[in-house]
Amino acid sequence: MSLQNPLLKVENLSHYYGDQIGCENINFDIYNGEVLGIVGESGSGKTTLLKIISGLLCPNAGSVAFDTRIEGPRDIYKMSEPERRLLMRTDWGIVYQNPKDGLRMNVSAGANVGERLMAIGNRNYANIRSDSSDWLEKVEMDLERMDHFPETFSGGMLQRLQIARNLITKPRLVFMDEPTSGLDVSVQARLLDLVRGLVSQLGIACVIVSHDLGVMRLLSHRLMVMKSGKVVEHGLTDQVLDDPQNPYTQLLVSSILPV
Amino acid sequence: MTASSQNKNTNGSMEKPEILEGYNFAYLDDQTKRMIRRAILKAVAIPGYQVPFGSREMPLPFGWGTGGIQVTASIIGQDDILKVIDQGSDDTTNAVNIRNFFGKTAGVDTTEKTNKATVIQTRHRIPETPLSKDQILVYQVPIPEPLRWLEHRETETRKMHALAEYGVMHVGLYENIAHYGRVTTSYDYPVQVDDRYIMSPSPIPKFDNPKMDKMPALQLFGAGREKRIYAVPPFTKVKSLDFDDYPFTIESWEESCALCGSSNSFLDEVITDDEGTRMFVCSDSNFCKEQIEKLTNAPLVQNGDSS
C-alpha cells in the first residue's frame, strides 16, 4: 500500500445498546479513492457502524480518525462539535437510504444542491446557480426541473439529487446507506453506473452499506461482512464473493437467487 | 372619533387618564420586572441573542403585544413619556389601548410625537423620524426565531445559532430569486447583528431595516408567547442578508403621500371606494401630520377636534 495516511482509520470500535451489541471490536482503514462495502443481514450492525463512522453516533469504545486536510489524522469524537459539523458539510457526504432524510423537501432542487455552498459562505447567486446546474447535469437531471420541488420527483431522481447535493463541495469521503433500495432494477442500474463513474472520476473514497451483493460486486473494491455486530470476513470484493471462507458468508453468497 | 383624539390637547401630549387603584406601578410586580430586566441586560450584552424569560400572562391575548408590553412595563419609569404605534399609526386599537393601559397603571405621560417620547412601543414599524440616544424602541415580536421557517426543531436552531451555521438563511433568499427573479421577502427580513447572530427584526417592512443599523436608540424586542427577549444596543451594526449579485433593496413607490406629499416615507395603499380608487398615505401618522404642519405652518387639528 502507499505511504499516505489512511483517510479514515477505525480502531477497536464497539458500541452497545444496553446489553445488546450494536457492533463490537471493529477495525479497518479506508484510503483515498477506495470504495468499501459493508454487507450483512438486517440487525447485523451495519447501520450502527455507519452512523458511528459518519459522526452521528458517539461509540462506547474505540476511535475513528479522519485524515483532515490541515491537521492530519484526528479522532472525530475528540474534535469540538463545530469542527465536526464543518467536516460533515465540507469533506464528507452522507447519502441516506430515505432521500427525505437527506433533502429539504420544501425548497427547490437547485436550492438543495446549492445549500452546502451557501453553508460554507458562498454569497454569489450566479455562481451558486451555475455550480448547482453543473452538478444536476452530472447526475443526469433535466435542468428544467431545477426549480421544481423534490416532492414532484421520482425515487431515482431524489437519490440522484441527494448525491449531487453531497458531492458539490467535492468531499473526500462519502457514506451511503442502502443507496439503491426501494428503486426498481433499471433505475438501480443507472444509479449504480452513475455512482461508479463519479466515484472513480473524482477519486472519492466511499463507504457503502447494503444487503444487495450485486450492488457490492459492481461498486466496492473491498467488502466487509458483518454478523451480530462483528466483522466475520473482510477482503477484496471478488475474493470474498467468489471464495467465501466464513460459513455465514458462504450462506449469504449461496442465497442469491439465480434469475 | 377615536379615544386618542378625545383627550388630546393641542401640543400633542394627552391628558392623563385616571390611575387605577390596586395595581403595582406599570402593572407587573417588582419581582417579575427584575426577572425581565435581567433578561434584557443579558440580551443587550449579547446583541441579537434570544434570551428566554418567564413570560407572564397579561390582560390581553398573546399576539397582541404581550411581549412588548412586558418589556415596556419593566423599563418604564415615572418620568418617561410613552408613545405606542401600531403599523406606524398612533390611533389604531392596539396602540390606543396599550397607551391607555400604561396611562392607567403607571400614570406616565403619553404622547404621539416621536421626538418627545422616551419609550416607544411599536408593532410592525420604526418611526420615520430618526430616533436619538435618549430613546428606547420596544418591538412586539410574534415569532422571534428567524430560522424557524427552514428548521422546525428548536434544539437544532439553538445549535445553529450557537455555532453560527447560517447557510440555510440564504437558501430562503435563493428560492425567492430562483422563482421570482428577486428577493420577495418584504417584511420580517432577516438581519445579522454585529456580524454574529441572525435576528428576526419582527414584522417591520424591509423599508425599515436600514434604520436599525447603527441606530442611536436602544432597541428591545419582546416575544410574549414564545418567551424570548432580544436586543440591539445603540450604534450596533445591523446588516440585512443578501447575495453579492442581488444586494438588499428596500421598497419604493412611484406615488408620494396623498396627504403630506412625502416621497421618502413608507406608504400604505388605501382603497377609497368600490371602484378601485386608491390613495397612498404615510403609514407613520405622526410623521405625516408633522409634514403637513411644516407645509401649512400651522398646527393640524385632527378630526375636527379643536379642544
pLDDT bin (cut points 50, 70, 90) of residue A192 is: confident
What does the alpha-carbon distance between residue B213 and residue B215 come to, in Å, rounded to a whole number? 5
pLDDT for residue A182: 77
Answer whether A81 touches B (CB < 8 Å).
yes
What does the alpha-carbon distance between residue B283 and residue A196 come to, in Å, rounded to a whole number? 61
pLDDT score of A259 more than 70: no
What does the alpha-carbon distance between residue B66 and residue B63 come to, in Å, rounded to a whole number? 7
Q: How many CB pairs under 8 A join A and B?
A: 56
Q: CB–CB of A123 and B243 under 8 A? A: yes
What does the alpha-carbon distance between residue B34 and residue B42 come to, in Å, rounded to a whole number? 12
Answer whether B270 touches A (CB < 8 Å).
no
Considering only the beta carbons, identify the residue of A104, A110, A115 that sits closest to B178.
Answer: A110
Residues of B catalogued as catalytic: 48, 257, 260, 282, 288
pLDDT for residue A232: 94
Q: CB–CB of A125 and B246 under 8 A? A: yes
Answer whether A105 touches B (CB < 8 Å).
no
pLDDT score of B8 more than 60: no
Q: CB–CB of A115 and B171 under 8 A? A: yes
Reference A106, options A149, A140, A167, A165; nearest CA is: A149
pLDDT score of A30 more than 70: yes
Answer whether B171 touches A (CB < 8 Å).
yes
Task: Give chain B positions within 8 Å (CB) of A114.
Answer: 171, 174
Helix (H, G, I), strand (E, B) or coil at B57: coil
Query: Quick one: which H or E segment has residue A62?
Result: strand A61-68
pLDDT for residue B18: 82
Helix (H, G, I), strand (E, B) or coil at A113: helix
What does the alpha-carbon distance between residue B194 and residue B38 come to, in Å, rounded to a whole number? 21
C-alpha cell at B226: 414564545
**Chain A residue closest in CA terms to B241:** A123
Give me the mean pLDDT over the B86-104 stretch: 92
| A94, A166 contact by CB (below 8 A) | yes
What does the alpha-carbon distance between residue B96 and residue B202 come to, in Å, rounded to a whole number? 20
Residue type, B85: I
Answer whether A118 touches B (CB < 8 Å).
yes
pLDDT score of A2 more than 60: no
pLDDT for residue A12: 94
Answer whether A129 touches B (CB < 8 Å).
yes
Query: What was the ipTM of the complex prediction?
Result: 0.84
Answer whether B179 touches A (CB < 8 Å).
yes
Q: Over the stretch B178-237, which tens digit does the pLDDT of each residue have?
A: 999 999 999 999 999 999 999 999 999 999 999 999 999 999 999 999 999 999 999 999
Give me the residues paired with residue B121 across strands.
Answer: B84, B138
Q: Over the stretch A56-94, which tens digit does the pLDDT of each residue have?
A: 899 999 999 999 888 889 999 999 988 898 888 889 999
Task: Give chain B positions within 8 Å (CB) of A147.
Answer: 178-179
Q: Over the stretch B23-36, which tens digit does the pLDDT of each residue have?
A: 999 999 999 999 99
Question: What pTM value is reported for the model?
Answer: 0.84
Task: Give chain B positions within 8 Å (CB) of A83.
Answer: none
pLDDT for residue B9: 47
Q: CB–CB of B243 and A129 under 8 A? A: no
Q: Over the stretch A100-127, which tens digit does the pLDDT of each residue have?
A: 989 999 899 999 999 999 998 899 999 9
Q: ∠ at Cα B283 (B278, B286), nearest 5°?
A: 125
Q: CB–CB of A107 and B175 under 8 A? A: yes
**CA max distance for chain A:** 56
